[in-house]
A and B are shown apart, each in its own frame.
Chain A
């Protein structure tokens, strides 16, 4: 976000903290507000989702982030995508970032696939005309021409993932963020996505890839970051870090709760 640093570093996190006020039961209505007014302390606690995370991604690198659920992976991607600023620390992002591709909802459930694609592009600073020019390629890559005029709320999760991935890659960002999305696509589409990610790498683009599929992580990542409870536990070659992750999982046992 700060300019002036060498362009060869695309993403830099320096001692980044993210604090969330997690609410056990949120008082969002007048009724619950009144009921819980006295018990507010009990209803809310602070959670440090990231505890001083530092790393840098040089241009052209694909960084994998692995870790258990709730370890802070998506939080890092959201900060990179400028969705919210960190509570503390320095973040630097140089280049055009793709929208966060993650599982679940598309952009706007009531709008059609076509309308969503245009909206997504305009959100990222493209004009409507530019996006209309890319529409065919996006729908073709997603294999979704048949559903172009169907509202998104009638899409399956896999279909949403297809469209999301197609949009994020067709707009040709400098930095591509992929969050656990490939798992819901069928194998054919997964292969297509991995191919496209590899062609991104060959073009010298930067990527941050979050996945629980270690095979995919090995296939696309140059370097991997292991995150645990908001801290970087290990960083290095995919095979070594993945081994460390598996050791961690063994150590904690299958029944370990999400967070301490």
Chain B
């Protein structure tokens, strides 16, 4: 763990360059370029809002705000994992040419998505303004669920990037897993619409608390509940420890398999 933090610090400039490269490559070939970073979550919000407040009628007040407060963090998490899962393999040419600490690749993939997420706070603020929704002072708590989500993304990112080196289908399986997990996390709905007998099951999901932290800060204007803080930070660190242990065990053999 200590080694992880030390190497992350030592190679911070490299991680930054790789993250910027990731964003450049991602948007270089499209006409709208970097605007896609902002457009993608917005369009998803429009689609889901139309479906869930006009057609299905959840009856949640100011649904777009309710939605984006969970959706944008979710997009950050899922995109982070998808990019991290490919990160070792796509950087194969580099890994085979020069010694690089392998951890920079998943970390850079997640950093690139974190930059995207932070930028998506702009359209989020725009939505709030347009709907005349107040900016609660509880926004100041946001760094805590965000840190938690980053830790979970890093931990899971280490795992999926390792598996993907040896088993390329990981990336596709991950897409399906994330879709299923999306519906299991209360992003588009509130836990109150779930039948009470399932609540016990839902409470085992750590992201319930982390994503819930975003929602209470942005939508409800409530201070963070204690479990949200504990799960975000404690659970997040545990996830990182587990993920890095796996990654570390196999990282030396990556150049032989990519």
Contacts and interface: CB of A to CB of B under 8 A. Distances in A.
B255 A118 contact: no
Given A81-B99, A84-B256, A107 B17 contact: no
A230 interface: no
A30 B25 contact: no
A82 interface: yes
Interface residues of A, number: 31
Given A83-B98, A109-B93, A28 B168 contact: yes
A109 B252 CA distance: 24
Interface of A is mostly: loop
Contacts of B169: 28-30, 33
A18 to B, nearest CB: 10
B93 A28 contact: no
Interface residues of B, number: 24
Interface of B is mostly: helix
Contact of B21 (A30, A81, A119): A119
Given A28-B168, A30-B169, A110-B28, A118 B17 contact: yes
B253 A84 contact: yes
Nearest to B98: A99
A99 B98 CA distance: 5
A29 B94 contact: no
Interface in B53-96: 91, 93-96
B167 interface: yes
B100 interface: yes
A155 B97 CA distance: 18
Given A20-B256, A102-B97, A110 B25 contact: yes
Interface in A119-146: 119-120, 122-124, 127-128
A49 to B, nearest CB: 11
B98 A124 contact: yes
Contacts of B17: 118-119, 122, 128
Interface string B179-215: 0000000000000000000000000000000000000
A97 B99 CA distance: 10
Nearest to B104: A123
A85 B252 contact: yes
Interface string A98-117: 01101001111111000100
Interface of A: 20, 28-30, 33, 78, 81-85, 97, 99-100, 102, 105-111, 115, 118-120, 122-124, 127-128
